């Protein structure tokens, strides 16, 4: 191991700010089944697929059209 290291050419980690936070969320069984079936088609875990979908909605500022 060196006594000193040169970090003058180092690059900041671009993924450092993309931190995930674990939460509890109540989701209908039909919704989970839908994303599980879709995840099998696209080949990624359903949790990752749901996160990607929600991230896309957030980036495009999609607002739900809910009528009570």
User: Average pLDDT for consecutive 10-residue bins of the chain (68 residues)?
Assistant: 88 78 94 97 95 95 91
CB 52 within 8 A of CB 46: no
pLDDT at 60: 97
pLDDT at 59: 96
CB 45 within 8 A of CB 39: yes
pLDDT at 58: 95
pTM of the predicted structure, to 2 decimals? 0.68
pLDDT at 37: 97
Kind and range of the H or E run holding 29: helix 29-42
């Amino acid at each position: 191991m060196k006594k000193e290291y040169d970090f003058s050419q180092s690059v900041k980690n671009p993924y450092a700010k993309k931190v995930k936070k674990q939460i509890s969320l109540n989701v209908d069984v039909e919704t989970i089944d839908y994303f599980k079936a879709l995840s099998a088609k696209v080949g990624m875990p359903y949790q990752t697929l749901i996160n990607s979908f929600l991230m896309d909605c957030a980036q495009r500022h999609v607002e739900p059209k809910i009528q009570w």
